[in-house]
């Protein structure tokens, strides 16, 4: 008697069948739905604002048809780079959280929670307040340096004779995050008022000043970091079971562990250097992706990136349209959503550990 159950996965093969990719049906369907959602959010974002543009006019403008010079400027110079920046930043922060959670084997890890984003923020605020004459093109490198120093400090402080502890890593990160935030506040309090105001607006996590230069910066780093992440995704799957099990399965544990940390820091630092800290995106997106469709590490990372892009794109759209003409930075909205999610996850974690 044949089974009537639908297949749970299918296989994509290259023309010469030298490469085959096994994909779960549910995960692939959700990835397609998320692409549709991201496209819809982007279209509405391009059409919404103080200068109303119809969707048909947006489409014609993107096709290169000039309806009016004003619409050309609004779409190409302001809304299109802002929309792309929101999507790229959301994807990068979400991927940073997913990689950090896998590296620490702790579902509460998030770049903004353990101080990595704050390290980037302190470095950029210091640059803005103390050395305003320096080229802003140095921001990504300065932010990366600040983040990697904080990550190294957390790792060193959380290491014990018995090895690294994930909960110790998180607690050390939270403590160091508070300390770094205090240093940032000192810079803002005692710095010159105009420089402090510029840094304060950036710290709110706003995407309203995004430009094409920011798009190229984000896209360039994504083009380097995302393929590197996919290359180690199989070894990351093995490390879900612990380092001893991963070593037994033949994964290069030390190399993968260091690459995970560098990639997570890189994603968070570059995204933070462009738009400021965006809280809790790296916490929400990996959990939501896991609940939508349990999948292998590669597809999970793709789903996480799509969810992060959609979440930040939606936060930016709501922040500038729901209370117009007042604009609320996307970073404030993601934090408002993220705090209750974090509390819920903390309660679930405590409940599971008590059983």
Rounded to whole angstroms, what are the CA distances from 178 to 137, 147, 183, 185? 28, 14, 9, 11
Q: What is the pLDDT of residues 36-67, one digit of tens each?
A: 999 999 999 998 877 778 888 888 888 888 88
Helix or strand run (H / E) with residue 13? strand 9-13
Q: What's the average model confidence in pLDDT over 25-33?
A: 87
Instruction: Please state the rounded mean pLDDT for residues 287-315.
Output: 87
Residue 303 CB-density burial (10 A; 0-12 exposed, 13-18 middle, 19+ buried): buried
CA atoms of 181 and 143, how far apart (whole Å): 15
Q: Where are the alpha helices (DSSP H) in 131-278?
A: 139-158, 166-190, 193-203, 212-231, 233-239, 243-248, 253-275
Residue of 53, 104, 114 whose CA lies nearest to 80: 53
Max CA separation in the chain (angstroms):
79
Residue 279 has pLDDT above 60, yes or no: yes
Most confident of 35-44, 110-119, 342-351: 35-44
- Pick the residue with more confidence: 194 or 264? 264
pLDDT at position 295, please? Answer: 75
Give the distance, in angstroms, between the CA of residue 62 and the centroid of all CA atoms in the same chain.
Answer: 27
- Give the other-Cβ count within 10 Å of 297's Cβ: 20
CA–chain centroid gap for 92, Å, is: 3
Predicted TM-score (pTM) of the model is 0.84
Please write the tens of the pLDDT for every residue from 85-109: 999 999 999 999 999 888 877 777 7
Q: How confident is the model at residue 227 (pLDDT cuts 50, 70, 90)?
A: very high
pLDDT computed for residue 2 by the predictor: 45
Q: Between 297-321 and 212-231, two packed helices, what is the crossing angle to 10 degrees?
A: 160
| Cβ neighbour number for residue 282 with a 10 Å cutoff | 35
CA distance 161 to 172: 16
Q: What is the mean pLDDT of the chain?
A: 81
């Amino acid at each position: 008697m044949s089974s009537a159950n639908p297949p749970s996965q299918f296989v994509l093969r290259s023309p010469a069948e030298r490469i085959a990719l096994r994909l779960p049906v549910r995960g692939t369907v959700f990835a397609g739905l998320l692409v549709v959602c991201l496209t819809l959010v982007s279209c509405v974002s391009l059409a919404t604002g103080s200068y109303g543009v119809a969707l048909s006019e947006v489409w014609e403008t993107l096709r290169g048809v000039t309806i009016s010079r004003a619409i050309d400027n609004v779409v190409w110079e302001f809304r299109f780079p802002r929309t792309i920046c929101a999507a790229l930043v959301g994807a990068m922060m979400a991927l940073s959280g997913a990689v950090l959670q896998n590296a620490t084997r702790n579902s509460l890890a998030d770049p903004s929670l353990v101080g990595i984003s704050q390290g980037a923020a302190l470095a950029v605020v210091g640059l803005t307040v103390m050395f305003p004459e320096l080229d802003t093109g140095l921001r990504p490198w300065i932010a990366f340096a600040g983040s990697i120093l904080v990550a190294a400090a957390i790792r060193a402080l959380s290491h014990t004779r018995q090895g690294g502890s994930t909960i110790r890593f998180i607690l050390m990160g939270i403590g160091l995050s508070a300390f770094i935030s205090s240093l940032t506040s000192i810079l803002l309090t005692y710095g010159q008022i105009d420089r402090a105001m510029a840094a304060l607006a950036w710290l709110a996590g706003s995407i309203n000043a995004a430009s094409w230069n920011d798009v190229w910066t984000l896209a360039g780093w994504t083009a380097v970091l995302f393929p590197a992440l996919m290359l180690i995704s199989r070894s990351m799957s093995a490390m879900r079971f612990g380092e001893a099990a991963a070593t037994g399965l033949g994964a290069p544990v030390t190399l993968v562990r260091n690459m995970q940390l560098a990639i997570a820091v890189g994603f968070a630092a570059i995204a933070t250097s462009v738009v400021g800290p965006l809280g809790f995106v790296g916490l929400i997106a990996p959990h939501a992706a896991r609940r939508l469709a349990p999948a292998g590490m590669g597809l999970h990372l793709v789903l996480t990136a799509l969810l992060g892009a959609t979440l930040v794109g939606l936060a930016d759209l709501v922040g500038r349209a729901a209370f117009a003409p007042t604009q609320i930075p996307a970073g404030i909205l993601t934090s408002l959503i993220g705090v209750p999610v974090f509390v819920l996850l903390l309660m679930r974690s405590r409940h599971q550990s008590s059983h």
